[in-house]
Amino acid sequence: MRGFLASSIGVATAAALALPLALSTPALAAPSQGAAAAPVAPAGSTQSLPLGPLGPAADRSPGVPGMSTSPRLPETRGLAPREVKRFSLVGVVWDDASTELFGRVQVRTRAVATGAWSDWQDIETHNGEHAPDLGTQESGSGRVRGSTAPLWVGDSDGVEVRVQAEAGAPATRAGGARAGARLPSGMRIELVDPGASDPVTVVDAKNGAGGAGGAADEPEGDDKGDVVALPGMTMEMAESSSANVPLAGLGAKEITALNKADTTADAVAADGSLTAAARPYIGPRPRIVTRLGWGADESLRESGFVYTGTVKAAFVHHSASGNNYACKDAPAVLRSLYRYHVVSSGWRDLGYNFAVDKCGTVYEGRAGGVAKAVLGAHTMGFNTDSMGVAVLGTYTSTKPPAAAVKAVAQLTAWKLGLFNRDPRATTTLKSGGGNRFKKGTNVKLNVISGHRDGFATECPGKLLYAQLPPTRTTSAKLQGRP
């Protein structure tokens, strides 16, 4: 599968580079009269375009804020304005995940609907903060790349990129040498098309197509294992969906909400123990849109699941992908994030265990079962025995919607309750290595923590981070704790 993906990306890259570079100035940015709209690939796609040295200032679009054009100043790479296949999310990746990017990354894009170019937009640099833990099979796969945060730009068909190194950058994590004014090698812009929302219709013989529960009377078995598939469902889809049984039937597009009194069976599903049913502090289960519900292409991720022993803490994130999305677009944003994490960044699956949109809808993230202790790639150094919840958007200077904050409290009340965790308490996690704590260090953390508590980062944005104290209180009340 990986070889196929690499080939697909290479073809997309070559095709994009072969397009005419007629968009060298904003004045030529509008689509030609009568041109047919480019079709959207049903399963999504990724264009990967290398960033090269930028030419003299006269060859560049003017007005890049905060960027110098002097050849004596730090290295600058980018991409001249050009027409490309349609995409909705952008990000920059580079070859070595252990090399940090110190500098400024900016893009401008052309909207399909209007033909107008956006203003320059900053892309947040990550520098390893969202990533698999060091020393794990996922981080050592040889496929993991360095990457910025992704940015949702909406349906677009033109792009321009500029990246400038920061002078006097601090030492890199990899070798301790000063990065100076250089950029990482192998930098590329990734242009992600999320694809169609429902490329496959699953036929549920009991509840109808795409039902919320139940199973077909005669599902098709897989002679390689115990996974069964409904008509219209691939084995990869069946594997992912079956991980949520018995919370929902095979082929369910959502897991229904439950009252607090009805959630004891969820605890048994979480760890398989009979004593789990006796736990008194499990919050009501929120409605959760499954991976099938938001249209995850299960052929992208690695097969199988990786679990940890328990869930001791929840790390709250923002996706840093911007707030320019409507709630109806949230599944497309999530499909784009998923593709960026797997195809562009080289992870085994989506990094977050759950996502929450601005309207408060909860989505299943990394595959393996929403009630189980699934190993994620959300907080480098502290992915083991934790869960990652990403609120879609950027909340550094924008206040998070009340509905999203409420949903985080509801989700943590339920999921942490399955593992008998008090949201107001503290816990101890062993660091797997990062930029705040050395590998092997025992670190005391809040049971509900922000990403910045485990890694030196702005995530989840100061305004979302400020909501964590009341979230802990609300979550504990939902669990019924005194």
Write the pLDDT tens digit of every residue in 80-129.
999 999 999 999 999 988 888 999 999 999 999 999 999 999 999 865 55
Measured CA distances, 368 to 23, 42, 93, 296, 308 (Å): 45, 25, 27, 13, 11
The one-letter amino acid code at 445 reads L
Alpha helices in 376-435 (DSSP H): 402-418
Q: Output the CA torsion sign for 183, 376, 233, 236.
A: positive
Q: What is the mean pLDDT of the chain?
A: 82
Question: What per-residue confidence (pLDDT) applies to 13?
Answer: 39
Question: What per-residue confidence (pLDDT) applies to 35?
Answer: 38
d(CA 93, CA 77): 13
CA nearest to 434, candidates 459, 415, 461: 459
Q: Which residues in the chain are classed under CATH 3.40.80.10?
A: 270-479
220-227 mean pLDDT: 47
CA nearest to 243, candidates 296, 206, 319: 296
11-31 mean pLDDT: 38
Question: What per-residue confidence (pLDDT) applies to 276?
Answer: 86
Measured CA distances, 132 to 352, 393, 453 (Å): 11, 22, 17
- β pairing state of 188-193 and 76-94: antiparallel
d(CA 157, CA 109): 7
- What's the distance, Cα to Cα, between the start and end of the chain in Å? 51
Contact between 108 and 160 under an 8 Å Cβ cutoff? The reply is yes
Does 38 have pLDDT greater than 60? no
Give pLDDT tens digits for 278-327. Answer: 889 999 999 999 999 999 999 999 999 999 999 999 999 999 999 999 99
Q: Is the pTM of this model over 0.85?
A: no
Considering only residues 169 and 12, tell me which one the structure prediction assigns the higher pLDDT.
Answer: 169
d(CA 182, CA 167): 8
Does 46 have pLDDT greater than 70? yes
Tallying the residues shown for the chain, one arrives at 482
Does 41 have pLDDT greater than 90? no
Question: Could you give phi then psi for residue 264, rounded to 5 degrees?
Answer: -65, -35
Question: What per-residue confidence (pLDDT) applies to 129?
Answer: 55
201-229 mean pLDDT: 45
d(CA 167, CA 388): 34
What architecture (CATH level 2) is domain 270-479? 3-Layer(aba) Sandwich (3.40)
Give SS3 for 270.
Answer: helix
Which percentage of the chain shows pLDDT scores above 70?
Answer: 75
Contact between 383 and 311 under an 8 Å Cβ cutoff? The reply is no
The band of 273, judged by pLDDT with boundaries at 50, 70 and 90, is confident
Question: What per-residue confidence (pLDDT) applies to 9?
Answer: 39
Does 217 have pLDDT greater than 80? no
The band of 365, judged by pLDDT with boundaries at 50, 70 and 90, is very high
Question: What per-residue confidence (pLDDT) applies to 380?
Answer: 82
Does 345 have pLDDT greater than 80? yes
The one-letter amino acid code at 292 reads L
Contact between 300 and 336 under an 8 Å Cβ cutoff? The reply is no
Does 399 have pLDDT greater than 50? yes
